[in-house]
Amino acid sequence: MNATQQLHDLGQSIWLDNVSPALLTSAALSRYIRELAVTGLTSNPATFDHAIQSGGSYDDAIGRMVREGKSGEPLFFELALEDTRQTADLFRPIHDATDGVDGWVSLDVSPLLADHTTATVLAAAQLHARAQRANLFIKIPGNAAGIAAIEETIFAGVPVNVTLLFSREHYIAAAEAYMRGIERRIAAGLDPVVASVASIFVSRWDVAVTDEISDQVRNGLGIAIAMRTYKAYRDLLASKRWQQLAAAGARPQRLLWASTGSKDPATSDTLYVEALAAPDTINTMPEKTLLAFADHGQVKGNMPIDGGYAEAVLAEFTREGVNDEVLAADLQRRGTTALAESWRQLMSSIAARSELLTQGRP
Active-site positions? Answer: 139
Cα separation of 271 and 147, whole Å?
31
Pairing relationship of beta strands 105-108 and 196-201 according to DSSP bridges:
unpaired
Around 176, how many Cα atoms within 13 Å sit in the side-chain half-sphere?
A: 10
| Alpha carbon separation from 164 to 111, 122, 200, 204 (Å, rounded) | 11, 20, 7, 11
CA angle 203, 24, 90 (to 5 degrees): 90
Residue 209 near residue 268, CB atoms below 8 Å: no
Taking CA atoms, 286 is separated from 3, 52, 302, in Å, by 16, 18, 22
Residue 321: CA count within 13 A, CB half-sphere = 7
Which residue type, as a one-letter code, is found at position 76? F
Distance, CA of 331 to CA of 291 (rounded, Å) = 28
d(CA 272, CA 150): 28
Nearest to 260 by CA among 287, 235, 231, 240: 287
Q: Is-contact 353 59, C-beta < 8 A?
A: yes
342: which residues sit within 8 A by CB, 6+ positions away? 44, 45, 46, 49, 111
